[in-house]
Amino acid sequence: MPKNIHEIRDPVHAFVRLDSHERGVLNSRPFQRLRHIHQLGLTYLLYPAATHKRFEHSLGVMELASRVFDVVTTPGNVTDEIRRRLPQLEREDERRYWRRIIRVAALCHDVGHLPFSHAAETTLLPEGWHHERLTREIILSDEMESIWEMITPPLRPEDIVKLAIGPKKARDMEFSDWETILAEIIVGDAFGVDRMDYLLRDSHHLGVAYGRFDHYRLIDTLRILPSPPSGRNDEVRQTQRGTEEHGTREAEVGQEEEARCVELGIEEGGIHSAEALLLARYFMYTQVYFHPVRRVYDIHLQDFLKAWLSDRLFSTNLEQHLKMTDNEITAALLEVAFDPSKAGYEHARRIVQRQHFKVIYQRNPNDININPEAGSAVYRALTSRFGEEHFRCDRCVQKGGAPDFPVQLRDGQIVSSLALSETLKNVPIVSIDFVFSSREKYEEASRWLEEHRAEIIRPTREDERNG
Amino acid sequence: MDRIQNAALLLRLIERLREQGSWCGETHVQKATYFLQDLMRVPTPFEFILYKHGPFSFELRDELTALRADGLIDLEPQWPYGPRIVLTGRSAYIKEISSRTLAKYDDRIAFVADRLGDRGVVDLERLATALYVTKRTHARCSAEERAEELRRLKPHITPESAGSAVAEVDKLVEEAEKLAD
């Protein structure tokens, strides 16, 4: 009898299991291409073992997505109120359909990635394009559609798209509460399994322990819950007036209960695992993802690709996209880095011969107190004094909001995570603002900057800034 | 507008909302900014989509995080609720160096804070979604049709409540146009 369940060994989750339909997705050309896309771009130039690929990460995301789905839809973990709001939870055929959808969406969520993942994404796609849009196009392509049709019951490709890229990147699509929750399981800010897997996997491969957290406990305590209550304005007014009056506006409170959204939250027992996840994210961002040398290699790669690619952009044609992997670009880098006559030589040389730019300025609390745009001011001053070709700037702030999610206390009350946990409230926001200098100009520019620094970062009035 | 000018507008809006007694959580700021941008035509750069509590901008959420990273706003948790947004002492100089922009848009910010400052999230969701529907249909549809569309998008809103939200938005549009004149 042919085997329907297949196991794949995985260093993070031990085994990832998939059935024959899912193996059809795995065997497709877009998914196999992910074997050739480094998860962390050129990070292996700093952390030599960072050679893992999007392929195994996508398998891990599928594994975690279904674990979370199973926990949050288990009847004993769902209250009557949630069941009333999400009728899909009551119907076994619906539940099975959406379990299938979330698994293939998780599997496909990264198929649109460009070579070297995020390294070259921001400036090398035409306006309005990003890797999620390419993911969407691939899921809706004829090649993948034939796979969705073979499955029983056939999968609606639009459902897969919604869960794979979420409302942030599928802005023209309407999401039901149910679809929003399921997309949140994959790409959510607080508990998205995409993030859980990459923290654990990157940590494992890089040999950096910071990314580990107790994901078993965390997943076990995840629940679909009503959003934390919002404070009412009448309470603010009472506080402001300092009166003892308690005008309970019961009708409004009732309406508010009804209007509260549902979202992913946790049982009280999981709060420390959630804190550990968010601290892991903070440490991995500061130590790895926003490491200045890693960032400057990304910039050199972008500069190289702008010179090397025809039209200075990646193609959004799916055939072309599927043909382009890290392999083609690595081969080009190695060739061009030793031939000054080739376009992009200077940038390829900086990567291959490790002659990357050096940090000449970075954000610090003192300067930010004076001017939050200090990095831009330094970059403008340096380029105007020494020439644009010698400097690059890199500004990036952590995306997403505060870790404000519902927590269900042991007595059933729902509270905001930020009201419960001092730790969550105080996890710093990762924000970088680097200016890099070529090695040729570094000494001279450093001396000049030291001399003029105070004057450069002084905040200017808008009339001076914009004329 | 550059980032500092945009930040100054958000800081002033938060300040005015709090003066009007708003709880001033993220939802309050999201909806007030939506009115500021789409009703009052203040050129902030956010793209709003229909999300959990009505119109919502992921870019605005990211910008609020960036303002926290820059130490210009902070979160004030209060058991058991979601946090309030509060200005820090550092925000004063951002407003000061953008005084020309603030002077230009101050009456529009005051208008939004005055009309929305005392509203709770239920009301804000209802009104902001009514404005979203009105803008999307370019007011071509009748008030009844827009109320129906509002209910399709937010089924928990009662027909009466949807009707009054659309009527209130029409009034706000009229007042905003007068202010612009």
Residue B155 banded pLDDT, cuts 50, 70, 90:
confident
> H or E segment at A125?
none
Beta carbons of A231 and B81 less than 8 Å apart: yes
Q: Are residues A60 and A151 in the same domain?
A: yes
Nearest to A398 by CA among A433, A434, A363, A430: A430
Q: Are residues A276 and A306 in the same domain?
A: no
Write down the residue that tokens 């956010």 correspond to.
B46
Does the complex come out with an ipTM higher than 0.90? yes
Q: What was the pLDDT predicted at A46?
A: 96
Q: Are residues A149 and A276 in the same domain?
A: yes
Q: How far is CA A422 from CA A215, A278, A407, A426, B78, in A?
A: 21, 13, 14, 6, 12
* d(C-alpha A449, C-alpha A455), whole Å: 10
Q: What was the pLDDT predicted at A419?
A: 96
Residue A392 banded pLDDT, cuts 50, 70, 90:
very high
Beta carbons of A230 and B82 less than 8 Å apart: yes
Nearest to A464 by CA among B10, B40, B116, B2: B2
Mean pLDDT (whole number) for A325-344: 97
Beta carbons of B121 and A256 less than 8 Å apart: yes
Q: What was the pLDDT predicted at A265?
A: 97
Q: Are residues A278 and A142 in the same domain?
A: yes
The answer, yes or no, to whether residue B107 has pLDDT greater than 50, is: yes
Question: Within the 351-390 window of chain A, which residues sit less than 8 Å (CB to CB) from chain B?
Answer: 368-369, 372-373
**Among candidates B2, B7, B52 on the partner chain, residue whose Cβ is nearest the Cβ of A465:** B2
Q: How many domains does chain A have?
A: 2
A432-461 pLDDT per residue, tens: 999 999 999 999 999 999 999 999 999 888
Beta carbons of B156 and A373 less than 8 Å apart: no
Q: What angle separates helix B58-69 from helix B3-19, to the nearest 10 degrees?
A: 90
Contacts of B24 (CB under 8 A, 6+ apart): B14, B17, B18, B84, B85, B86
Query: For residue A231, which residues of chain B lie inside 8 Å, CB to CB?
Result: 23, 25, 78, 81-82, 84
**Burial class of residue A443, CB neighbours in 10 A (0-12, 13-18, 19+):** exposed
A270-325 pLDDT per residue, tens: 999 999 999 999 999 999 999 999 999 999 999 999 999 988 999 999 999 999 99
Mean pLDDT (whole number) for A171-196: 95
Residue A179 banded pLDDT, cuts 50, 70, 90:
very high
Boundaries of every domain in chain B: 3-180
Q: Are residues A279 and A359 in the same domain?
A: no
CA angle A170–A174–A177, rounded 5-degree value: 110
**Burial class of residue A351, CB neighbours in 10 A (0-12, 13-18, 19+):** buried
**Among candidates B71, B80, B97 on the partner chain, residue whose Cβ is nearest the Cβ of A416:** B80
Query: For residue B162, which residues of chain A lie inside 8 Å, CB to CB?
Result: none
Q: What was the pLDDT predicted at A245?
A: 38
- Residue A277 located in a structural domain: yes
Residue-level length of chain B: 181
Any idea what DSSP says for residue B87? E
Q: Are residues A31 and A164 in the same domain?
A: yes
B112-132 pLDDT per residue, tens: 999 999 999 999 999 999 999
| Residues paired with residue B50 on neighbouring β-strands, in sequence order | B55
- Residue A255 located in a structural domain: no
Any idea what DSSP says for residue A38? B
Q: What was the pLDDT predicted at B87?
A: 98
The answer, yes or no, to whether residue B14 has pLDDT greater than 90, is: yes
Q: Are residues A62 and A198 in the same domain?
A: yes
Are B35 and B119 contacting, i.e. CB atoms less than 8 angstroms apart?
A: no
CATH number of the domain that A108 lies in?
A: 1.10.3210.10
Question: Within the 140-179 window of chain A, which residues sit less than 8 Å (CB to CB) from chain B?
Answer: 167-168, 171, 174-175, 177
End-to-end CA gap in chain A: 78
* d(C-alpha A262, C-alpha A68), whole Å: 16
Query: For residue A180, which residues of chain B lie inside 8 Å, CB to CB?
Result: 51-52
Mean pLDDT (whole number) for A38-67: 97
| Cut 0.80: pTM above it | yes
CA distance A288 to chain B (A): 19
A117 — alpha (psi -120 to 50), left (phi > 0) or beta?
A: left
* d(C-alpha A53, C-alpha A38), whole Å: 4
Distance of CA A62 to the CA centre of its chain: 16
- Per-residue exposure over B124-153, b if at least 16 CB sit within 10 Å of its own CB, e if not: bbbbbbbbbbbbeeeeebebeebbbbbbeb
The SS3 of residue A332 is: helix
Question: What is the residue range of A375's domain?
Answer: 300-400+429-466
A357-380 pLDDT per residue, tens: 999 999 999 999 999 999 999 999
Contacts of A116 (CB under 8 A, 6+ apart): A37, A38, A41, A42, A298, A301, A326, A329
Residue A393 sits at the chain B interface (C-beta within 8 Å): no
CA distance A447 to chain B (A): 27
Q: What was the pLDDT predicted at A241?
A: 47
Residue A461 sits at the chain B interface (C-beta within 8 Å): yes
Q: What was the pLDDT predicted at A467?
A: 58
Q: Which of A121-125, A249-253, B59-63, B153-157 has the highest mean pLDDT?
A: B59-63
Q: What was the pLDDT predicted at A242?
A: 45
Q: What string of DSSP letters covers A351-370?
A: HHTT---EEEEE--HHHHHH
Q: What was the pLDDT predicted at A195?
A: 97
Mean pLDDT check: name the lowest of A59-63, A145-149, A240-244: A240-244
Q: Mean of the per-residue pLDDT values for chain A? A: 93
Are A267 and A223 contacting, i.e. CB atoms less than 8 angstroms apart?
A: yes
* d(C-alpha A161, C-alpha A192), whole Å: 16
Beta carbons of B65 and A425 less than 8 Å apart: no
Query: Percent of chain A having pLDDT more than 70?
Result: 93
CA distance A464 to chain B (A): 10
Q: Are residues A280 and A321 in the same domain?
A: no
Give the chain A residue whose CA is nearest to the CA of B47: A171
Give the chain B residue whose CA is nearest to the CA of A251: B122
Q: Are residues A164 and A97 in the same domain?
A: yes
Query: For residue B49, which residues of chain A lie inside 8 Å, CB to CB?
Result: 167, 171
Mean pLDDT (whole number) for A110-116: 96
* d(C-alpha B68, C-alpha A429), whole Å: 8
The answer, yes or no, to whether residue A260 has pLDDT greater than 80, is: no
A136-160 pLDDT per residue, tens: 999 999 999 999 999 989 999 999 9
Q: What was the pLDDT predicted at A244?
A: 39
Beta carbons of A418 and B49 less than 8 Å apart: no
Q: Are residues A305 and A360 in the same domain?
A: yes
The answer, yes or no, to whether residue A1 has pLDDT greater than 80, is: no
Beta carbons of B58 and A168 less than 8 Å apart: yes
Write down the residue that tokens 């200016």 correspond to.
A435
The answer, yes or no, to whether residue A27 has pLDDT greater than 80, is: yes
* d(C-alpha A135, C-alpha A109), whole Å: 7
Beta carbons of B97 and A240 less than 8 Å apart: no
Q: Mean of the per-residue pLDDT values for chain B? A: 94
Q: What was the pLDDT predicted at B140?
A: 81
The answer, yes or no, to whether residue A240 has pLDDT greater than 60, is: no
Query: For residue B82, which residues of chain A lie inside 8 Å, CB to CB?
Result: 227-231, 404, 416, 418-419
The answer, yes or no, to whether residue A206 has pLDDT greater than 70, is: yes
Residue A229 banded pLDDT, cuts 50, 70, 90:
confident
Residue A236 sits at the chain B interface (C-beta within 8 Å): yes
Residue A465 sits at the chain B interface (C-beta within 8 Å): yes
**Among candidates B65, B75, B97 on the partner chain, residue whose Cβ is nearest the Cβ of A418:** B75
End-to-end CA gap in chain B: 22
Distance of CA B146 to the CA centre of its chain: 20
